[in-house]
Amino acid sequence: MMTRKRGLATSIMVFVFVLSFSVEVSAEQASAAFLVVTMKDGSSEVFNVPVDSDKVDSAVFAFSDAGLHELEGKHNLIAIINNVPITTGDFYDKISGLVGREVLSYIIDETLVRQAARRSGIAVAQAEIDRELGIYREAAGENFNAFLAEYGMTEADFRKTLEMSLLVFKVSTKDVQVTDEDIAGYYESHKADYTIPERVRASHILVETEQDAEEIIELLARGADFQSLARERSLDTNSARVGGDLGYFPRGAMVVEFEQAAFSMAVGETSGIVKSQFGYHILQVTDRTETQIIPLENVSESIERLIKSEHALDFKQLVAELRRDSAIVVFDPRFSDLGTTTLP
């Protein structure tokens, strides 16, 4: 019947609370609920209460000295503090006083955007949100979760933000017409943006002195493995962890001496000693790609969006336009200035 019972003779603290719930329970849980009672001496007792939760909508627990008259009409309780009930009304009044204006203003703005989208038959597909989310994930990399935490958001929160951003873009550009000629013209005038320059992929071993570099050259000549030497001897700790690999880089990304050596070598070739401001390098070129131009058909959709973005409004601008043509009635006198229509 009960656990952690410390004696029913102990006076039970007067309290009343309402419990409304809709939860999934196992077969074992279906026949019992739990009542936690705080005693006057500060101890607690937990009682198993036989009940079929499938049949319960709400429940009131009370004792004969509970002073029910003091709680009359206060059935939406969310907390009791030393026999003082906190109702949802109390909670709402405090929250609305603190952040009510900001919250109501945003609710109005978001509702206006969604109404405008429905009127124009505009919707945002989950695939679109997934794509936008993927862009942010790729940009942030392993810092994505830290990015969310910085703004106090979960991924679900961020998805809602992305959805609203996409709705604002679509609603504010719904009348912008972009032709194939417009897209082709933009592509031609921004050809450099769609050109991937020649790149080299190289690994290196960085050492402090020329004597150290000569020793590395000799070890390689004897058949030592380049990646193993990079892990063991390179002062560039970031690349050393991956065998000296620096990935792909275009011209202009490295110091001049390093770049000249890398772009003058054939794939698979290992350099001599290359001196730079960082020390002495031994390079190995592992791959290279020639200059590539991304075909128009691969980027036409993104170009259309870029052209439309020149005419797009941000959230505040769009909402300001929508408010001018909307009837907004705010009944709470504290926030009446957020409305556009005055009550008679």
pLDDT-derived band at 343 (thresholds 50, 70, 90) equals low
pLDDT of the residue at 33: 59
b/e code 62-82 from CB counts within 10 Å (16+ = b): eeeebeeeebeebebbeebee
**Per-residue pLDDT tens over the stretch 124-176:** 999 999 999 999 999 988 899 999 999 999 999 999 999 999 999 999 999 99
* 198-290 fold: Chitinase A; domain 3 (3.10.50)
**Per-residue pLDDT tens over the stretch 80-131:** 888 778 888 888 889 988 999 999 999 999 999 999 999 999 999 999 999 9
- Residue ranges of the chain that CATH labels 3.10.50.40: 198-290
pLDDT of the residue at 3: 36
Distance (Å, whole) CA 246 – CA 252: 14
Please state the pTM of the whole predicted model: 0.61
